[in-house]
């Protein structure tokens, strides 16, 4: 009888306070949930960190897609009765999630992606408490070099540096937290204050910023999508940027080989810049080590790296003597622009599978600088030159960009920002 009573007491205790505590623990979904999100656009990583203050829930989110990992604003968060719903702000779109918790460590559900009121994609997501997003997958095996030294020993601005708006609202292949993180880290170390942009350009969005950086905007999220070549900007956005520059703003517009040229053409033309929208090669002036005709070398000695404030810097230590562009397109600026990265007469524009006979790119460039009204503009036809990336080729990691030994791309990046922000005249 005593044993029976003892057993009853033990059972009662196990289903009393401990059970209530267990129930409370299960109801408390605090922690980091991570896993995959799959839509018609492909599979990407999703991470949500939930925390609770009293009865109020809070959350932060990260998305990993196309080799880029970025924080995303979260809104409309609701957690109740084993269910969760929330919205994430994506570049030019909103993703709405609805999920159900299973057990103590599983969360799955559906996602719908909207542009304004139109649903453009749908899919599912599956997360695990304490899990992780899938490993970074990047087009062409490209990833930011984690060993790149981004520290500037003598920053141009020690405090309250110029404010830089870094575009991430137009399906950008390069973002401040993704492939262009080395560039963002470098200019941040130099004193610039970076703000990622998640909105369409307008006078109010651009107000208060000294420099606007746009790198490889696209018309669709995936580069392989045929819609990626569609205009990345509206006519109204282009007009807003042009007016902002005329009033004193500075624009760094970077548009790589196809399909980037087509996606950025509408904005470039607003400043009188023609983009070839192809791939530029020059076997006679390319990097001999890589044996890639698209890795074009520019030197001061050859005269194709022009004498300009952007290449001269503020002193001899900032002088740029050799730059490599890592496969881009050619540009032609207006009459009052200066080509500081001039292509040789042997350069050609090619479009594999489209034009079997490459077109001469003589008289064109991959770096153009100009003044527009009270503002300044630099247009680059290649983005890798200001990155610091590693790519795996036949099992071997190869560095290209500012991290490549023997070139001055790192200093060129700083000089470009110094000219745009007014340190260089």
Dihedrals φ, ψ of 6, to 5°?
A: -60, -40
pLDDT tens, residue by residue, 249-280? 999 999 999 999 999 999 999 999 999 999 99
Average pLDDT over residues 179-183: 93
| Residue 377 near residue 338, CB atoms below 8 Å | no
Average pLDDT over residues 74-92: 89
For the entire predicted model, the pTM comes to: 0.73
Q: How confident is the model at residue 12 (pLDDT cuts 50, 70, 90)?
A: very low
Nearest Cα residue to 327 out of 140, 202, 184: 140
Q: Supply the pLDDT for residue 366.
A: 98
Calculate the average pLDDT of the chain: 88
Average pLDDT over residues 313-317: 97
CA dist., res. 114 & res. 289, Å (int): 46
Q: Supply the pLDDT for residue 390.
A: 83
CA dist., res. 343 & res. 330, Å (int): 8
Upper half-sphere CA count for residue 232 (Cβ side, 13 Å): 33
CA dist., res. 325 & res. 349, Å (int): 14
The beta-strand segments (E) located in 222-342 are 250-254, 274-275, 279-281, 295-299, 322-326, 331-332, 338-342
In the predicted structure, residue 55 carries a pLDDT above the cut 60: yes
pLDDT tens, residue by residue, 341-386? 999 999 999 987 677 689 999 999 999 999 999 999 999 999 999 9
Strands 331-332, 93-102: pairing kind: unpaired
Dihedrals φ, ψ of 401, to 5°?
A: 115, -150
Percent with pLDDT over 90 in the chain: 69
């Amino acid at each position: 009888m005593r044993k029976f009573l003892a057993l009853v007491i033990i059972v009662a205790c196990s289903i009393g306070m401990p059970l209530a505590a267990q129930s409370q623990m299960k109801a408390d979904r605090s922690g980091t949930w991570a896993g995959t999100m799959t839509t018609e656009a492909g599979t990407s990583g999703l991470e949500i960190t939930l925390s609770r203050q009293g009865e109020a829930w809070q959350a932060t989110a990260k998305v990993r897609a196309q080799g880029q990992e970025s924080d995303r604003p979260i809104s409309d968060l609701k957690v109740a009765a084993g269910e969760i719903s929330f919205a994430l702000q994506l570049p030019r779109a909103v993703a709405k999630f609805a999920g159900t918790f299973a057990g103590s460590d599983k969360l799955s559900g559906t996602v719908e992606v909207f542009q304004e009121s139109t649903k453009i994609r749908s899919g599912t997501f599956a997360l695990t408490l304490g899990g992780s997003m899938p490993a970074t997958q990047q087009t062409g095996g490209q990833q930011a070099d984690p060993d790149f030294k981004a520290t500037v020993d003598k920053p141009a601005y020690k405090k309250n540096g110029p404010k830089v708006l870094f575009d991430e609202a137009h399906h950008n292949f390069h973002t401040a937290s993704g492939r262009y993180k080395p560039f963002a880290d470098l200019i941040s170390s130099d004193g610039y204050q970076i703000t990622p942009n998640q909105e369409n350009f307008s006078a109010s969005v651009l107000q208060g910023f000294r420099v606007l950086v746009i790198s490889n905007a696209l018309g669709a999220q995936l580069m392989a999508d045929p819609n990626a070549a569609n205009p990345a900007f509206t006519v109204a956005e282009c007009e807003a940027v042009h007016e902002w520059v005329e009033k004193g703003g500075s624009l760094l517009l970077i548009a790589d080989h196809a399909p980037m040229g087509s996606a950025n053409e509408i904005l470039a033309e607003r400043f009188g810049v023609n983009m070839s929208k192809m791939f530029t090669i020059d076997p006679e002036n390319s990097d001999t080590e890589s044996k890639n005709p698209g890795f074009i070398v520019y030197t001061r000695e050859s005269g194709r790296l022009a004498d300009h404030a952007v290449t001269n810097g503020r002193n001899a230590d900032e002088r740029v003597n050799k730059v490599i562009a890592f496969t881009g397109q050619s540009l032609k600026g207006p009459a009052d622009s200066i080509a500081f990265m001039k292509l040789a007469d042997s350069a050609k524009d090619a479009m594999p599978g489209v034009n079997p006979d490459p077109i001469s790119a003589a008289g064109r460039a991959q770096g153009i600088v100009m003044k527009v009204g009270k503002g300044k503009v630099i247009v680059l036809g290649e983005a890798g030159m200001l990155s610091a990336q590693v790519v795996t080729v036949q099992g071997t990691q190869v560095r290209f960009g500012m991290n490549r030994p023997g070139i001055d791309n790192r200093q060129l990046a700083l000089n470009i920002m110094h000219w745009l922000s007014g340190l260089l005249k």
